[in-house]
């Protein structure tokens, strides 16, 4: 048995979209089960996201602190954003998010990991990039709005982030997965063995 996720699609007898929002929607599918029964499955339809674990020369990760209304918390996170620009390459979206949220650019980009955030209730796929060779971006800062107007920034050592993740102090999934993946990659074949930034992403296919 090969331990690898594989694409598969069960028969859908009917589908409906009872809610359409600004960026996402809710879909209801009638799905045929292996025993022939048909069940309703409600899930959020999501455009996908990118996130950036930006690592500086002092082995610190660039973090932002942002209010997240659904969970009623201000969370420490890594820069991230929706793939809401039609046809945009995920790497270009990640570079845009790093600029907009932190006014930072990076010279070296790798794919750290790909995840489905909540596959039981949402089809969101996230590609988490590792960005190194950081420097300040040129030009004017991006004009923040909404929750981002209250955003704070910090650079925190990797070791401290690992401790805080395991202590239950940090909860953002991209931050948790990204930091622990970074540590695992270092303990394995090293960061330079990570996939290139333009590696195929079957969950959100894109033009190379």
Query: Is-contact 103 141, C-beta < 8 A?
Result: yes
Number of other residues whose CB lies within 10 A of the CB of residue 189: 9
| Cα–Cα dist 183/167, whole Å | 16
Please name the residue ranges forming H helices in the chain: 90-102, 158-166, 173-187
Give first-to-last CA distance, the chain, whole Å.
32
- Which backbone phi and psi does 164 adopt, to 5 degrees? -70, -35
Which among 8, 77, 138, 148 is annotated as catalytic? 148
Q: Are strands 104-116 and 38-45 parallel, antiparallel or unpaired?
A: unpaired
CA dihedral 81, 82, 85, 88 (to 10 degrees): 80
Look at the block and give the residue holding tokens 């007898």. Answer: 13
145 is catalytic: no
**Helix, strand, or coil (residue 137):** coil
CA-based radius of gyration for the chain: 19
Active-site positions?
148
């Amino acid at each position: 048995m090969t331990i690898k996720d594989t694409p598969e699609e069960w028969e859908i007898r009917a589908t409906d979209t009872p809610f359409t929002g600004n960026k996402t929607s809710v879909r209801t599918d009638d799905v045929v089960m292996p025993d022939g029964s048909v069940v309703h499955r409600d899930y959020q339809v999501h455009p996908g996201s990118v996130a950036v674990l930006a690592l500086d020369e002092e082995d610190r990760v660039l973090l932002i602190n942002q209010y997240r209304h659904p969970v009623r918390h201000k969370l420490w996170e890594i820069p991230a954003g929706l793939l809401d620009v039609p046809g945009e390459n995920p790497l270009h979206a990640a570079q845009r998010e790093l600029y907009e949220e932190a006014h930072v650019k990076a010279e070296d980009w790798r794919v750290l990991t790909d995840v489905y955030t909540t596959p039981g209730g949402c089809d969101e796929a996230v590609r988490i990039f590792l960005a190194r060779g950081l420097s300040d971006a040129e030009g004017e800062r991006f004009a923040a709005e909404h929750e981002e107007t209250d955003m704070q920034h910090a650079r925190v050592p990797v070791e401290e982030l690992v401790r805080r993740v395991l202590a239950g102090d940090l909860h953002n999934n991209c931050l948790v997965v990204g930091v622990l993946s970074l540590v695992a990659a270092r303990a394995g074949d090293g960061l330079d063995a990570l996939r290139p930034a333009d590696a195929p992403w079957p969950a959100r296919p894109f033009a190379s």
